[in-house]
Amino acid sequence: MLYLYIKKLPILRLEKKHFKVEAEYIRQHLKIAIPMALQFSITAVGAVILQSAVNAFGSIVVAAHTAASKVEQLAMQPSVTFGVTMATYCAQNLGAGNIDRIREGVKKCTIINIIIGLVGGVMLVFFGEHFIKLFVSGSDPNVISYAKQYLFIVAFFFIPLSLIFIYRNALQGMGYTFMPMMAGVGELLARTIVSFTLPALIGYSGICLAGPMAWLAASIPLIVDYLKKMNDMSHLPEYSSI
């Protein structure tokens, strides 16, 4: 079957020129890949810093936070999936020169993710305890109580979290990797500052607010940069007739 495809479609046939290493291609790939790699590294560092702040509250809070974080990740999977989709979607349409299609796709995906954020938040507020018990062995009321407190607080910030996936991946798909990386830096700084200041003032609630403050710090510059980039591209000659 593969042979038939290759025979009918010359574009699939490998030739000697395809194995030639071109410096420009390497430069372009590194220009996109390095900031993306740094952004993921920054996110991981932020998680480690937050975990160190959580550890100071003892084993019960650690267990509660771990379980609640897993529930949060589960609730956000639809938004994560839409985000990955937008990276490919924006890249393909940018290659086709169809900026209006990118704008329309991101707009519709934003609406969908806002709905996902609202539904996910409502579900965790009212049914969070049932999800927590999927990840907690036994029924320690203190663990469940702390976990419910975490989910109750972060549920109100699911919309900015869901939008991060859309706009970060949209920008990266179009080849703009600097702002997603800087948004990751802002996310790291916000999470670090909140993790080591608010808990001393308001206790465990300060830990719960570390993630939401980081999401706000990341989502706002991503949305602003996306709008600016789309406005700039709409005035370029190659896209002005689209």
Does 25 or 79 have the greater pLDDT score?
Answer: 79
Axis crossing angle, helix 158-173 with helix 141-155, rounded to the nearest 10:
60
Cα–Cα distance measured from residue 62 to residue 77, given in angstroms and rounded to the nearest whole number: 23
What percent of the chain has pLDDT above 90? 51
Confidence grade of residue 157 (pLDDT, cut at 50, 70, 90) = very high
Rounded average pLDDT over 161-170: 93
Rounded average pLDDT over 74-89: 91
pLDDT at 139: 67
Cα–Cα distance measured from residue 158 to residue 118, given in angstroms and rounded to the nearest whole number: 7
- For residues 106 and 172, the answer to whether their CB atoms sit within 8 Å is no
Find the helix or strand (DSSP H, E) in which 115 lies: helix 99-132
Alpha carbon separation from 160 to 32, 107, 114, 117, 156 (Å, rounded): 24, 15, 8, 8, 9
DSSP label of 135:
T
Confidence grade of residue 5 (pLDDT, cut at 50, 70, 90) = low
Confidence grade of residue 50 (pLDDT, cut at 50, 70, 90) = confident
How remote is the C-alpha of 171 from its chain's centroid?
Answer: 12
Confidence grade of residue 47 (pLDDT, cut at 50, 70, 90) = confident
Mean pLDDT of the chain: 86
pLDDT digits (tens, 9 = 90+) for 89-140: 999 999 888 899 999 999 999 999 999 999 999 999 999 888 998 888 766 7
* Separate counts of helices (H) and strands (E) for the chain: 10, 0
pLDDT at 236: 67
For the chain, the helix, strand and coil percentages under 3-state DSSP, each to the nearest 5:
85, 0, 15
Q: Does 186 score more than 60 pLDDT?
A: yes
pLDDT at 241: 44
Rounded average pLDDT over 213-233: 93
- For residues 169 and 83, the answer to whether their CB atoms sit within 8 Å is yes
Does 167 or 12 have the greater pLDDT score?
Answer: 167
Q: Model-level pTM?
A: 0.83
Q: Does 242 score more than 50 pLDDT?
A: no
What percent of the chain has pLDDT above 70? 91
pLDDT at 81: 92
pLDDT at 88: 92
Cα–Cα distance measured from residue 124 to residue 107, given in angstroms and rounded to the nearest whole number: 26
- For residues 160 and 195, the answer to whether their CB atoms sit within 8 Å is no
pLDDT at 136: 82
Confidence grade of residue 220 (pLDDT, cut at 50, 70, 90) = very high
pLDDT at 170: 94
Contacts 24+ apart (CB under 8 A), 125-134: 125/151, 125/152, 125/155, 128/68, 128/71, 128/152, 128/155, 131/71, 131/74, 131/75, 132/67, 132/68, 132/71, 134/71
pLDDT at 43: 76
Cα–Cα distance measured from residue 234 to residue 224, given in angstroms and rounded to the nearest whole number: 16
